[in-house]
Amino acid sequence: MDAWMTSWRLDPLVVVGLFGIGLVYVEATRRLKRIGAGLPRSRERCFLAGLVVVFLALDGPVDAGASALLSVHMFQHMLLTMIAAPLVVLGAPVTLTLRASSPATRTRILLPVLNSRLVRIAANPLVTWSLLFVVLWATHLTSLYEAAIQNRGLHALEHLAYLGSAVLFWWPVVGLDPIPARISHPARILYLFLAMPPMAFLGLAIYSSDHLLYTYYATVPGATITSALADQHLAGALMWEGGMFVVVPALAFVLLDWMRREERAADRADERAARAGRRQEPGTSVNV
């Protein structure tokens, strides 16, 4: 067994930051539940699960292995962008913040920020869709990748860029939070379908390369150019196929949500028709 598989490198900033965010979220949820305005329990579980995935990706054996193997590094990026980010979004943190804040804070600070031009631009589906893939392509196919893996501070910024762009990517698709530009369910399906080719092409570019894209991995103790190249092919396959395994369930989630909403709309229409029928005067006749 490789040493990295049992290695835990706890970063105080990551541990304290994630614990603090989780504590604030749980406390806000409990306070709202006492007044009957809390979020569903499933939302809380999703958010906390997302924080756990971030912790496992950044402080567990995965982070240690990412320094030795490109395939593990790629898996780390997939955890942040395809697992942790949608779970955090499903936790509806913005909705929780709005409900837990005082009326003054909500009116004077939060709502103006949410309605600001900057947030409107950042939440635009064209921007959220493009940003994730710009970040992924720019960091994997330029010198930024090797610079980041050898510089702890730059590496942390890279992870923040992955997680931040991924949260924005998933926000219009699975989020319940209020956003300036809510897109329809058919648009969400198209949004997800169009997300598959850029990720697949990036994975294919890494997989099909016949030379090392990141020479750092050939300098790791025990590694050779041949072994590093084979691991690079595995990393490309993870990127190529891994995104599909997440996008397909997300498509199913959107379709089911769409069906449930259509059913509820039909039920409401039936109820309105029934109430209208009951209000009709007894003995009223219909002329044909």
Q: Which of 115, 84, 131 is nearest to 181 (CA)?
A: 115
pLDDT of 286 reads 44
pLDDT of 2 reads 64
Q: What is the mean pLDDT of residues 20-31?
A: 93
Across the chain, what does the average pLDDT equal?
A: 87
Reported confidence tier of residue 134, pLDDT bands at 50, 70, 90: very high
pLDDT in tens, 52-63: 999 999 988 898
What is the dihedral sign for C-alpha 148, 153, 155, 160? negative
pLDDT of 138 reads 93
Q: What is the mean pLDDT of residues 53-79?
A: 91
Q: In the chain, which residue ranges form alpha helices assigned H by DSSP?
A: 12-34, 41-59, 61-66, 70-78, 85-90, 93-100, 103-105, 111-114, 117-122, 125-140, 144-149, 152-174, 185-193, 196-208, 225-279
Highest-pLDDT range among 85-89, 101-105, 247-251? 85-89
Calculate the alpha carbon distances from 219 to 4, 68, 127, 191, 236 in Å: 16, 9, 38, 40, 20
pLDDT of 230 reads 93
pLDDT at 23 over 90: yes
Q: What is the mean pLDDT of residues 127-145?
A: 93
pLDDT at 151 over 80: yes
pLDDT of 288 reads 39
Q: pTM higher than 0.85, yes or no?
A: yes
